[in-house]
Amino acid sequence: MQVLRPATPAELAEAIAEAAAEGVPLEIRGGGSKAAIGAPRRARILDMRGFAGVVDYDPAELVLTVRAGTPLADVERLIAAEGQMLAFEPWDHGPLFGAAGETATIGGVVAAGVAGPRRLTAGGARDHLLGFSAVSGRGEAFVAGGKVVKNVTGYDLAKLMAGSWGRLAALHEITLKVLPRPRVEATMALDGLEDAAAHAAMARAMGCHAEVCAAAHLPAAVHGGRALTLLRLQGFEPSVTARCAILPGLLADHGAVRLLDRAEADTLWHGVRTAAPLADAAVLWRVNVPPSGGCAVARALAPLGARWLFDWAGGLLWIACDGDPARVRAAAEEAGGHALLVRAPEPLRATIPFQHPRRPGVAALERRVRRAFDPAGVFETGRYMDEADAHRIQ
Amino acid sequence: MSLVMPEPDEAVLGRRAAIIAALRAIVPGEGVISDPDALRPYESDALTAYRQPPMVVVLPETVAQVSAILAWCHREGVKVVPRGSGTSLSGGALPLADAVLLGLSKFNRILEIDYADRIVVAQPGVTNLAITRAVEEAGFYYAPDPSSQIACSIGGNVAENSGGVHCLKYGLTTNNVLGIELVTMEGEVLRLGGRQLDPAGLDLLGVVVGSEGLLGVVTEVTVRILPRPETARAVLLGFPSVESAGQCVADVIAEGIIPAGMELMDRAAVHAAEAFVQVGYPLDVEALLIVELDGPAAECDHLIEAVARIARANGAGTARVSRDETERLAFWAGRKAAFPAMGSLAPDYLCMDGTIPRRRLPEVLRRMQRLSDAHGLAVVNVFHAGDGNLHPLILFDTNQPGQLERAEAFGNDILRLCVEVGGVLTGEHGVGVEKRDLMPAMFAEIDLAHQQRVKCAFDPALLLNPGKVFPTLHRCAELGRMHVHRGQLPHPELPRF
């Protein structure tokens, strides 16, 4: 497999223009932590790790400009040293696919819209990407957005780039909003709730003054036979103490609410964020629905032997299910959402698109938007299975 | 006015009667307005320096009507300008002489409130404040709060990606909208986003929010609502210099505090506001900072002390904490009076909206003063200090020949200055027609071409709200040509494997 390693915007532009001219599909890749997501394909690899390092970081401005190929772990260490964080909790998919250490790049997590439990209240990658420099499928270098936290100048192309999975442009420099790391985090837990009761408890907690920043539920089947519902609070110590005190009374009808030990809580949240309790699953789905729809999805898939956990107050399900993929997608759709196929054996990935198919009108509009950035389809590698001109291995 | 809008199409103007008849066939009764006197209220939005009566106004009541109007106009090559409540400060809803003005004011119902999922589904003509009013009894509110929230519509908020004084903590419209129903210029009805957090594919919703009515007409909006904070307290801080106030803002954020609001006023703004509403602002200061904290009482008490301590360390002579809700509102009354108070200083003002990196504030204010001297017009500054969003108010008198032009030139210089120091042309008011011709100060031709091709993907005939945002609207076919670098290739310095 041919791998290109451009290190300047000009080299990147030329690599893309050349591939477009030759008709060779090009796969934009950071650390490759998510390379096993999507259909098997044959493409020239555009390795973005030549674009590494911090361009500008002034903590008081709450803004970080960094080259896209910088390892996520490096970015997190840098800003943690200043008491700050990426509030959307991006994470490294590498371990999910057997990678040993830190593989994800900051550009990769932004391009895939990767976010963790705090996405519920703090927003996702889309909400923290302020601007970028990129080369589109035309081989043209361009910029959009800005380097300040408040900006409405021109179209918000940053939203399009976040979660575009490398189908529009190769991001080489990105500007992110960063936020102060909370002084204190506390996790309150409820034991032994059934899914429906856990949803009700999470909804009530999210609607009260406790300012819960993340809410998850681990059913008994994925947590050693005893279900656990997690409510995370963060902030300054007096505030967190006062807000934690709201929950026992508020949720009394669901049982006792207890404060978890910090180390235990950190492990549990890391598990929720990375689907660790389902790490042994051959087929792993990430289903995004309105919170009130989460239980119905689980109920529909239980007869197929599925196991699951809930995040985002019930609006995100990690589901281990090797039953009929069509039933997973149908359940997600009926609940008003969609299902992303995160991990599956190659034969399944070769027949089932990893992204949930869109309705025809939206699919057509997406295609027109993609062609606006990439008229020749140079980024259509076959990974997505929704392009007639893709180059998928049959 | 010095603004150049697209040349009206004489052929379209000549078909005005037929166009009105066609619209009446779609929207019966009083939903089509063609009488010149009745058109006058629509001739401008809140950027009143620019006026143009529309060819005709249509006020549909159903999505089917919106779709039919757009499909007909598309087929007939007639331009359409969408309009919400007409509160845009950048001329986003400025009519065109040869365009249909499509008003969404009759889409004024809240369709659904779901407290379990914490969302409200509203029609686009519902006002921003009406959403909060509908859910406040249950203890919820809609967070983005543009100053015009009593009048501005949620559909307009989506078009402009509206902010407000609390957006440092709670985000802009784009961070609080989950889904929309959009009708394209061709009349196709699409749902973008939904009630869940992430889209299945491209975030098309994300690019429609803030697209200033150029990509489609929004006919339904799903927003997130939040529990209303238990308490809110404000502290009034007076500083001997703008520098010390700016340093205080930086130090507050360095402490890990993200206040609900952080507003800075310069000396002239403080004096004008105090003369206008008499709320007891200290007059012996060069800069006044209002910091608002919200949340549980324990948090407000804790943080307000921390903010006051930081302020004193930065030389604040005044540090008054609001004792009750009345006093908190009084602190804000002065800030909110800043714009109307300008009326006592000059007959007219232009409000600018650039954002800068906060660290450049003292330099920007010094250079703005020099520009003020050069243009011979006074400027007063209010500033969303937390996020670096400046609102310089340029004072002038329209009735003095040449003053509007000088004020515009001064405003343009301020915005170029914002871009030069690493900022942007507009933080929350939008580009519209006001900043349209300044876009090249921030974006190269190739950057704008990438934005405009998105426009072409949604509206290839360029019939929806033309003349806004882009200084030159290139034909889509012209933009579609692929720039091929063939001939300069191959590049031997690129490693290959």
Question: What residue spans define the domains of chain B?
Answer: 10-103, 231-340, 346-430
Interface probe for A, chosen from B197, B251, B415, B426 (most Cβ of A below 10 Å), is B197
The answer to whether B407 and B377 have CB atoms below 8 angstroms apart is yes
B289: which residues sit within 8 A by CB, 6+ positions away?
B236, B237, B238, B239, B245, B248, B249, B262, B263, B264, B311, B316, B385
> Coil, strand or helix: which one is B313?
helix
Determine the distance in angstroms separating the CA of A57 from the nearest CA of chain B, rounded to an integer.
Answer: 12
Same domain, yes or no, for A108 and A170? Answer: yes
In this structure, what CATH number is given to the domain that contains residue A318? 3.30.70.100
Q: Which domain holds residue A191?
A: 184-274
Mean pLDDT, residues A115-122 taken together: 98
Tokens matching residue B231:
């308490």
> Coil, strand or helix: which one is B143?
coil
Element (H, E) at A158: helix A157-161
A359, B358: Cβ pair inside 8 Å? no
A51: which residues sit within 8 A by CB, 6+ positions away?
A6, A7, A12, A67, A68, A69, A70, A107, A172, A173
Q: What single letter denotes the amino acid at residue A219?
A: P
The neighbouring-strand residues paired with B350 are: B394
Give contacts of A13 with chain B, Cβ < 8 Å.
485
Same domain, yes or no, for A265 and A141? Answer: no
Q: How many domains does chain A have?
A: 3
Cα end-to-end distance, chain B, whole Å: 60
| DSSP per position, B175-226 | GTEEEEEEE-TT--EEEEE-SSSS-SSS-HHHHHTTSTTSS-EEEEEEEE-E
Q: Least CB-CB distance to A11: which of B161, B469, B494?
A: B494
The answer to whether B356 and A148 have CB atoms below 8 angstroms apart is yes
B358, A372: Cβ pair inside 8 Å? no
Same domain, yes or no, for A144 and A3? Answer: yes
Same domain, yes or no, for A26 and A44? Answer: yes
Determine the distance in angstroms separating the CA of A224 from the nearest CA of chain B, rounded to an integer.
Answer: 29
Interface probe for B, chosen from A22, A26, A155 (most Cβ of B below 10 Å), is A155
Q: Least CB-CB distance to A156: which of B116, B209, B255?
A: B209
Query: How many residues does this entry show for chain B?
Result: 497
Q: Note the maximum CA span of chain A.
A: 66
- What would the pLDDT profile of A299-321 be if each residue is shown by its tens digit? 999 999 999 999 999 999 999 99
A148, B450: Cβ pair inside 8 Å? no
B95: which residues sit within 8 A by CB, 6+ positions away?
B42, B43, B44, B52, B53, B54, B55, B81, B101
Q: Is the pLDDT of residue A161 over 90?
A: yes
Burial A346-381 (b: 16+ CB within 10 A, else e): eebbbebbbbbbbeeebeebbbebbbbbbbbbbbbb
Query: Tokens 């310095």 — which residue?
Result: B493
Tokens matching residue A204:
């009530």
> Coil, strand or helix: which one is A375?
coil
How many Å is the Cα radius of gyration of chain B?
24
Distance of CA B126 to the CA centre of its chain: 17
Yes or no: is domain B231-340 CATH 3.30.70.2190?
A: yes
Same domain, yes or no, for A333 and A378? Answer: no
Interface probe for A, chosen from B117, B175, B301, B389 (most Cβ of A below 10 Å), is B117
A183, B256: Cβ pair inside 8 Å? yes
Give contacts of B488 with chain A, Cβ < 8 Å.
14
Per DSSP bridges, beta strands B140-141 and B226-227 are antiparallel
How far apart (Å, rounded) are the C-alpha atoms in residues A30 and A165? Answer: 11
- Residue B139 CB coordination number (10 Å): 15
Same domain, yes or no, for A270 and A303? Answer: no
Query: Tokens 């015009």 — which residue?
Result: B148
Tokens matching residue A51:
């674009």
Determine the distance in angstroms separating the CA of A36 from the nearest CA of chain B, rounded to an integer.
Answer: 18
Tokens matching residue A178:
């960063």
Same domain, yes or no, for A197 and A307? Answer: no
Give contacts of B355 with chain A, Cβ < 8 Å.
146, 148-151
Q: Which domain-ending residue is among A274, A290, A313? A: A274
Whether B231-340 shares its CATH topology with B346-430 is answered yes
Per the rule left: phi > 0, alpha: psi between -120 and 50, beta: everything else, A145 is: left
A151, B427: Cβ pair inside 8 Å? yes
Beta strands in B228-347 (DSSP E): 231-239, 261-266, 287-295, 318-321
Same domain, yes or no, for A146 and A205? Answer: no
Same domain, yes or no, for A166 and A89? Answer: yes
Distance of CA B397 to the CA centre of its chain: 25
Same domain, yes or no, for A198 and A265? Answer: yes
Same domain, yes or no, for A18 and A159? Answer: yes
Positive or negative: CA dihedral A365, A368, A373, A376: positive
B209, A209: Cβ pair inside 8 Å? no
Binning pLDDT at 50, 70 and 90, where does residue A390 land? low
A154, B302: Cβ pair inside 8 Å? no
Predicted confidence at residue A394, as pLDDT, reads 36
How far apart (Å, rounded) are the C-alpha atoms in residues B153 and A147? Answer: 29
- What would the pLDDT profile of A59-107 be if each residue is shown by its tens digit? 999 999 999 999 999 999 999 999 999 999 999 999 999 988 789 999 9
The answer to whether A217 and A227 have CB atoms below 8 angstroms apart is yes
Element (H, E) at A316: strand A316-320
The answer to whether A378 and A16 have CB atoms below 8 angstroms apart is yes
Q: Is the pLDDT of residue A393 over 60?
A: no
Same domain, yes or no, for A10 and A68? Answer: yes
Give contacts of B115 with chain A, Cβ < 8 Å.
203, 207
Q: What are the CA-CA distances from residue A343 to residues A38, A166, A322, A365, B229 (Å)?
A: 8, 19, 11, 28, 41
Q: Least CB-CB distance to A155: which of B207, B254, B444?
A: B207
Nearest one of B262, B181, B179, B185 to B216, comparing CA atoms:
B185
Give contacts of B233 with chain A, Cβ < 8 Å.
none
- Residue B246 CB coordination number (10 Å): 25
How far apart (Å, rounded) are the C-alpha atoms in residues A65 and A57? Answer: 6
Nearest one of B239, B291, B288, B253 to B268, comparing CA atoms:
B288
A148, B356: Cβ pair inside 8 Å? yes
Determine the distance in angstroms separating the CA of B468 from the nearest CA of chain A, rounded to an integer.
Answer: 10
Nearest one of B228, B338, B230, B359 to B288, comparing CA atoms:
B338
The answer to whether B269 and B381 have CB atoms below 8 angstroms apart is yes
Q: Least CB-CB distance to B118: which of A207, A370, A371?
A: A207
Predicted confidence at residue A1, as pLDDT, reads 77
Digit-by-digit pLDDT tens for chain B (497 residues) are 568 899 999 999 999 999 999 999 999 999 999 999 999 999 999 988 899 999 999 999 999 999 999 999 999 999 999 999 999 999 999 999 999 999 999 999 999 999 999 999 999 999 999 999 999 999 999 999 998 899 999 999 999 999 888 998 999 999 999 999 999 999 999 999 999 999 999 999 999 999 999 999 999 999 999 999 999 999 999 999 999 999 999 999 999 999 999 999 999 999 999 999 999 999 999 999 999 999 999 999 999 999 999 999 999 998 999 999 999 999 999 998 888 898 889 999 999 999 999 999 989 999 999 999 999 999 999 999 999 999 999 999 999 999 999 999 999 999 999 999 999 999 999 999 999 999 999 999 999 999 999 999 999 999 999 999 999 878 888 886 544 333 333 333 433 23
Interface probe for B, chosen from A4, A153, A241 (most Cβ of B below 10 Å), is A153
A154, B451: Cβ pair inside 8 Å? yes
A369, B431: Cβ pair inside 8 Å? no
Q: Least CB-CB distance to B203: which of A13, A163, A243?
A: A163
B197, A17: Cβ pair inside 8 Å? no
A127, B175: Cβ pair inside 8 Å? yes
In this structure, what CATH number is given to the domain that contains residue A117? 3.30.465.10
Nearest one of B335, B238, B322 to B288, comparing CA atoms:
B238
Q: Least CB-CB distance to A292: which of B117, B168, B302?
A: B117
User: Hey, which CATH number is domain B346-430, 3.40.800.10, 1.10.579.10, 3.30.70.2740, 3.40.640.10?
Assistant: 3.30.70.2740
- What would the pLDDT profile of A315-352 be if each residue is shown by its tens digit? 999 999 999 999 999 999 999 999 999 999 999 999 99
Q: Least CB-CB distance to A14: which of B302, B387, B491?
A: B491
Predicted confidence at residue A388, as pLDDT, reads 64
Apex CA B307: angle with CA B280 and CA B292, to 5°?
60
Predicted confidence at residue A391, as pLDDT, reads 53
> Coil, strand or helix: which one is A297?
helix
B84: which residues sit within 8 A by CB, 6+ positions away?
B93, B103, B104, B105, B124, B125, B152, B153, B155, B156, B159
Question: Nearest-CA residue of chain A relative to B176?
Answer: A123
Predicted confidence at residue A387, as pLDDT, reads 79
Q: What are the CA-CA distances from residue B269 to residues B235, B264, B450 (Å)?
A: 18, 9, 40
Determine the distance in angstroms separating the CA of A153 from the nearest CA of chain B, rounded to an integer.
Answer: 5
B370: which residues sit within 8 A by CB, 6+ positions away?
none
Give contacts of B258 with chain A, Cβ < 8 Å.
179-180
A180, B256: Cβ pair inside 8 Å? yes
Q: What single letter denotes the amino acid at residue A169?
A: A
Tokens matching residue B200:
């299945």
Question: Nearest-CA residue of chain A relative to B193?
Answer: A337
Question: Nearest-CA residue of chain B relative to A137?
Answer: B482
Per DSSP bridges, beta strands B177-183 and B217-224 are antiparallel
CATH topology of domain B10-103: 3.30.43
> Coil, strand or helix: which one is B278?
coil
**Above 0.85 for ipTM, yes or no?**
yes
Question: Nearest-CA residue of chain A relative to B181?
Answer: A362
Q: Is the pLDDT of residue A155 over 50?
A: yes
Question: Nearest-CA residue of chain A relative to B202?
Answer: A164
A8: which residues sit within 8 A by CB, 6+ positions away?
none
